Structure 1
Amino acid sequence: MNRRAWLLFLLVSVLWGIPYFLIKVAIDDLSPVFVVAGRGLIAALVLLPVAAARGTLGALRARLGTVSVLAVVHIIGPFLLITYGEVHITSSLTGLLIAVEPVVIALLLSRSEPLTRIRVAGLVLGFAGVAVLVGLDVSGDRLGLLGAGMVLLAAVSYGVATIFVQRRAADIPPETLAGGTTAITAVVLTPFAILTWPTEPVHANAWAALAALGVFCTAVALLAFYALVNEAGSNRAGLVTYVNPVVAVLLGVLLLNESLRWSTVAGFALVAAGCWLSTRPTPIREQPAEPVPVA
């Protein structure tokens, strides 16, 4: 990857490691659907003026179907799954489970990128890591298992969305793509958010968390992520989940007093190793040179 791609990679890695902590803060006073709708609305209010100023809103009208599909698989679906999932599990575990996304992408790309022995070993290690995380951290807790299942389903949705961006939406400007998906999210979910409007006083930290989720973890992060996919491809872009869990765990342990178990460290190590192996490029075998005929 070039320097610009690396900068985008680091930016997205950090910005998408923070949301799990902020979600945990916001859902203390706000419903999950309110949080997701609020994220979408705030991000759309930031992004659409940017797209208008750059004169790229016309691309949104021309590709509304593509943008709508992406809004469902990259924002509405996974954001709701993660936010409802965090009602039952810690922000640290949420960030760790999302780290399985590169394994999902490797599986989805297996037809175009053959599964070598190393990549298969990576897939096995990745799923073993998930089994350790889920089996030991939420064992016997039905609601915990439900929350973990929601987050894993969100990781699958993220994987599908990442490939979809590269194959179907690479020609749409990032500010238009991000603005369109967040605007659609706000339109779809705002009626449900109104039904769950808080009846009790909401603490200032919950509003602040929601604002940060919308501006930084959604608007800025989506802009950077879509640019990263165009710059480096879906496989490499999915590797942002190498860094995300580290940020998520540190914030959860330091600011939310979440416990750091040996199973958490072991599970993440397996997931990280699996992701690294399963996303290694397939070596290109050189064809033997044809013999030069002797005159």
Structure 2
Amino acid sequence: MPGFSTSTSAIPTTSASDATRGLLLGVAGVVMFALSIPMTRLAGGSAAAPQLDPAFVAFGRAVVAGLLSVAYLAATGARRPRGAEWRLLAMTAGGVVFGWPLLSGLAVRHVDAVHAAVVSGVLPLATAVIAALVLRQRPSRGFWACALAGLALVVGFAAWRGAGGLEAADGLLLGAVVCASAGYVSGARLSGAMSAEQVICWVLVISLPVTLPLALWTRPTAPVAPSAWAGFAYVSLFSMWIGFFAWYRGLALGGTLRVSQVQVLQPFLSMLFAVPLLGERLDATTLVFAVAVLAVVWLGKRQPVGQPKKEARP
């Protein structure tokens, strides 16, 4: 899933060609991330027909992307992190390397990808909420109203799909959203000191001492379908690595406010991809919930968020 920049200012000096390239890269990044949930489901299978262990999918994809990151950092001569950057890198890793992949992978074993796409549709708004709390900003009442409305919608949708009750998988999905949001915020704080590409690479590299042994421990011991390995290859190369490069480069070229708007397409694309890839069904009620969630996210992103109050000097 793409990160949500905490910056609220566009880049006024963006040229027309850079804006176009940035938008195209942003769309490419969103398309890559939109395939993440269906491909994770394809890799792990369902509870009735399991394939790769969700833990192996989560840790193994981080290992593949981490090894590629080692090569990238060496080839570009990237500097080593220093001081407080290590702490922020560790916090980012906890969210986007461990929390989101593992919790979402476990969840889609028990709910379909269309269901997961709707619930995770509040991710941009959740990221904005965590950013406001961490940065001690002062969001407007409209912002908080949108945040509560988004939460109510996804809980209502999950209860409807669960025939009146929430499933454990819904708790996993909401936990995954919180983890990813926290990881995106800490990663965004690092992007002021190093390029976003270097941030995600260092996050993956410092995770290798943990992800590598866990991936080996959870590796498959029985044959799985080739389609499961195809799903694993996708989330390793695109969801965990190349997608971040396209997304962050698009934001840099085209401006955050312009390019980030295409993010509202992601849940719709995830649902559409799940139909041919997984044979899932997209019903009208689910589509209505998805539209409502994305409308709330779109409105929430346009609500004013004030800067922290300055402390009075004695």
Moved more, 34-43 or 171-180: 171-180
> Which residue, 42, 52, 63 being the options, matches 1:25?
42
Moved more, 75-84 or 6-15: 6-15
The letter of the residue matching 2:147 is: L
Moved more, 105-114 or 146-155: 105-114
The letter of the residue matching 1:81 is: L
Superposition deviation, residue 227 in structure 1: 4.2
Distance 1:217 1:34, change over 3 A: same
Matched residue, 1:280: 302
Superposition deviation, residue 13 in structure 1: 1.1
Matched residue, 1:92: 114
Q: Distance in 2 between matches of 1:34 and 1:228?
A: 31
Superposition deviation, residue 190 in structure 1: 2.8
Q: Distance in 1 between matches of 2:266 and 2:193?
A: 27
The residue correspondences of 1:182-201 to structure 2 (distance < 5 A) are 182-201=204-223
Contact 1:129–1:266 (8 Å) recurs in 2: no
Q: Distance in 2 between matches of 1:261 and 1:125?
A: 22
The residue correspondences of 1:91-240 to structure 2 (distance < 5 A) are 91-108=113-130, 109=132, 111-117=136-142, 119-139=143-163, 145-227=167-249, 232=255
Distance 1:185 1:225, change over 3 A: farther
Q: Distance in 1 between matches of 2:212 and 2:242?
A: 21
- Which structure 2 segments of 5+ residues have no match? 1-9, 46-50, 307-314
- After TM superposition, the score normalised by the length of structure 1 is 0.83
Q: Distance in 2 between matches of 1:120 and 1:197?
A: 43
Contact 1:129–1:268 (8 Å) recurs in 2: no
Distance 1:278 1:154, change over 3 A: same
The letter of the residue matching 2:278 is: L
Superposition deviation, residue 189 in structure 1: 2.7
The residue correspondences of 1:7-22 to structure 2 (distance < 5 A) are 7-22=24-39
The letter of the residue matching 1:76 is: F
Matched residue, 2:6: none
Matched residue, 2:80: 59
Report the 3-state secondary structure (helix = DSSP H, G, I; strand = E; otherwise coil) of the residue aligned with 1:243: helix
The letter of the residue matching 2:226 is: A
Superposition deviation, residue 147 in structure 1: 1.0
Q: Distance in 2 between matches of 1:161 and 1:254?
A: 31
Q: Distance in 2 between matches of 1:275 and 1:199?
A: 42
Contact 1:60–1:177 (8 Å) recurs in 2: no
Contact 2:26–2:260 (8 Å) recurs in 1: no
The residue correspondences of 1:242-257 to structure 2 (distance < 5 A) are 242-257=264-279
Contact 1:162–1:229 (8 Å) recurs in 2: no
Greater than 6 Å deviation, 4+ residue runs: 235-238
Distance 1:186 1:59, change over 3 A: closer
Contact 2:140–2:305 (8 Å) recurs in 1: no
Q: Distance in 2 between matches of 1:139 and 1:184?
A: 43
Report the 3-state secondary structure (helix = DSSP H, G, I; strand = E; otherwise coil) of the residue aligned with 1:202: coil
Q: Distance in 1 between matches of 2:71 and 2:82?
A: 15
Q: Alpha-carbon deviations, 1:19-62, whole Å to 9, x = none?
A: 11111111132101111111111112222212211110x23466
Matched residue, 2:4: none
Moved more, 259-268 or 29-38: 259-268
Superposition deviation, residue 71 in structure 1: 0.8
Q: Alpha-carbon deviations, 1:159-192, whole Å to 9, x = none?
A: 2222222223432223322222223334313323
The letter of the residue matching 2:207 is: T
Superposition deviation, residue 82 in structure 1: 0.6
